Amino acid sequence: MDRVLGWGNRAVTEAGESHEAARLAKLQAIEALGIDPWGGRFDGHMPVASVRALPVNPESPAAARIAGRVVLRRVMGNVHFLDVQDSSGRVQVMLGKKQVGELGWKLAQELDLGDLVGVDGTFGATKTGEPTVFAREVAMLAKSLLPHPDKHSGMTDMEFRLRHRYLDLTYNAETMDRARQRVMLVRAMRRHLDDQGFLEVETPTLHAVAGGAAARPFATHHNALDIPLVLRIALELPLKRLLVGGMEKVYEIGRVFRNEGISPRHNPEFTMLELYQAYSDYRGMMDLTEGLIHACATALRGSGKVTFGEAEIDFTPPFERATYAELLARHAGADMADPTSLERAASVRGIDPAGKHPDVLAQLLFEQEVEHRLKGPVFVHDYPASLCPLTRRKRGNPAVAERFELFVRGMELANAYSELNDPILQEATFRQQLAGLAEDDSMARMDDDFVRALRHGMPPAGGLGIGVDRLAMLLTDTTTIRAVILFPLLRPERGPQER
């Protein structure tokens, strides 16, 4: 049965079974030579990049031992040229019939694109100046039984690349580079926070109560205990319990799960950094955020200035700071403290104000009229209090919460609070938040244990959450979150009969 391979801009139809049958025949031929087609330990090989950095000395060529995947193959009589690639780069390999001997030459006839090989030889250059490993021995390390994309077809179909990330990493250098940069980003985060005296911890992924955010959880069931559980929608509440326990500076970089939509900025599972610092507040978190993001930008880009599309973003502190109220007035013409003004502004902009709390109207206006105008980086601070049930109220103005969100290019990147540590007020805000939910709603439960923890005394604190995937997008000049997550969630693949 034919199958469609998404290589290049056109679909390439291949007889899948016959292709695999041909490779299976080569597998059997390799076994008949007395060679294990699945290889084994291959010590002492050098990264390809290190081999390419060796001096070219025809009089005394340097020894070279490499291992990698065959990504290009050219047969020219008694010489085979292979491009062999590892995680550091690729290099040409020349297999000469005389040089590799009878067994090596027979093995060379059975090689395909995608095979993994080990090569021993010397490093030099061809007459045309191409850096080359001149092989003396070739070892089979793993046979590829399915075809790989060739030099001309490439891999430009995005859905195919996402479904076959292992091939995407192999044949698209920018994908591998982006993956490496994400590793560097997380490493820079850890290094910066560790240097600030924070402790990294791990908290449970399975929760009895969905808390710490307003989001739909994924539900599951623990069979042995016969209890319903949910995958965490935030890291917040367990970390704040640790504040109660005396961990004064604590953070976690972990996956959270929200059973909601998919978009260029949203994936149902994503990575968050959350941290809490005792005896700080949301302004302290602004200072910490500036230093942390600048450190990450510098680690990846060499300075606080990064390119995103056609724009330059300067993450050099200090960042711009503006209140929620002044931005709402400037861009939506609404007074956050005046319900009539909010209703009027909402109606003009096609938002039905009927039955909506003034703070909900303010947020709808803010999302529609303000967010996309925030080029940033800008700290938007002092939010309507009813939108922030876990946040300390501003002294002298309980209608305002000590909260900020950091916006960059219209995208929310970070969220921070002066944490609410009053257990009486916390319980009241929880009950108010849950009052409008149906009893069978998966979020219509209060985390009584968290309130109990607060009753034992939590220090005043600042808390911060940063979306690691979104920060990776900004620092790698990427417009979709799926490109910075190695394995984003995709719809089930269609079978051949559905194509």
Q: Both 140 and 36 in a single domain?
A: yes
Look up the CATH number of the domain holding residue 474. 3.30.930.10
Q: Both 6 and 106 in a single domain?
A: yes
Q: What average pLDDT score do residues 154-168 get? A: 84
**Is the model more confident about 320 or about 153?**
320
Q: Both 207 and 306 in a single domain?
A: yes
Which tokens is 186 given? 């997380």
Specify the pLDDT at position 433: 64
Specify the pLDDT at position 11: 37
Q: Kindly indicate the confidence band of residue 444, based on its pLDDT and cuts at 50, 70 and 90.
A: very low
Question: pLDDT digits over 469-487, tens only?
Answer: 999 999 999 989 999 999 9
pLDDT above 70: residue 153: no
Indicate whether 498 belongs to any domain: no
Q: Both 453 and 472 in a single domain?
A: yes
Element (H, E) at 93: strand 89-96
Query: Residue 164's domain spans which residues?
Result: 2-170
Specify the pLDDT at position 10: 37
Specify the pLDDT at position 429: 80
Specify the pLDDT at position 426: 87
Q: What average pLDDT score do residues 289-297 get? A: 98
Specify the pLDDT at position 481: 92
Q: Kindly indicate the confidence band of residue 12, based on its pLDDT and cuts at 50, 70 and 90.
A: very low
Specify the pLDDT at position 262: 84
Q: Both 155 and 178 in a single domain?
A: no
Indicate whether 495 belongs to any domain: no
Question: pLDDT digits over 54-82, tens only?
Answer: 999 999 999 999 999 999 999 999 999 99
Q: How far are the Cα atoms of 21, 83, 252, 293, 406 from residue 322, in angstroms, in the given order?
A: 65, 55, 28, 19, 10
Question: pLDDT digits over 95-131, tens only?
Answer: 999 999 999 999 999 999 999 999 999 999 999 999 9
The mean pLDDT value of the chain amounts to 90
Question: pLDDT digits over 308-347, tens only?
Answer: 999 999 999 999 999 999 999 999 999 999 999 999 999 9
Q: Cβ atoms within 10 A of the Cβ of 327, count?
A: 20
Q: Both 150 and 195 in a single domain?
A: no
**Is the model more confident about 18 or about 122?**
122
SS3 for 336-372 is CCCHHHHHHHHHHCCCCCCCCCHHHHHHHHHHHHHHH
Q: Rounded CA gap, 121 and 62, in Å?
A: 9
Q: Kindly indicate the confidence band of residue 440, based on its pLDDT and cuts at 50, 70 and 90.
A: very low
Indicate whether 35 belongs to any domain: yes
Q: Which of 117, 149, 170 is the last residue of a domain?
A: 170
Specify the pLDDT at position 14: 44
Q: Kindly indicate the confidence band of residue 4, based on its pLDDT and cuts at 50, 70 and 90.
A: very low
Q: Rounded CA gap, 158 and 9, in Å?
A: 10
Is 444 in a helix, a strand, or coil? coil
Indicate whether 86 belongs to any domain: yes
Q: Kindly indicate the confidence band of residue 492, based on its pLDDT and cuts at 50, 70 and 90.
A: confident
Specify the pLDDT at position 66: 98
Q: Both 144 and 180 in a single domain?
A: no
Look up the CATH number of the domain holding residue 150. 2.40.50.140
Is 303 in a helix, a strand, or coil? coil
Q: Rounded CA gap, 348 and 350, in Å?
A: 6
Q: Both 190 and 110 in a single domain?
A: no
Q: Both 217 and 140 in a single domain?
A: no
Q: Both 10 and 145 in a single domain?
A: yes
pLDDT above 70: residue 443: no
Which tokens is 469 given? 């995937």
Q: What average pLDDT score do residues 375-381 get? A: 95
Indicate whether 388 belongs to any domain: yes
Question: pLDDT digits over 386-399, tens only?
Answer: 888 888 999 999 99
Percentage of the chain lying above the pLDDT 90 cut: 78
Indicate whether 332 belongs to any domain: no
Specify the pLDDT at position 124: 96
Instruction: Report how many domains make up the chain.
Output: 2
pLDDT above 50: residue 15: no
Q: What average pLDDT score do residues 178-205 get? A: 97
Q: Rounded CA gap, 120 and 465, in Å?
A: 50
Indicate whether 201 belongs to any domain: yes
Indicate whether 393 belongs to any domain: yes
Q: Both 445 and 300 in a single domain?
A: yes
Burial 79-98 (b: 16+ CB within 10 A, else e): ebbbbbbbebbbbbbbbbee
pLDDT above 70: residue 16: no
Q: Both 166 and 244 in a single domain?
A: no
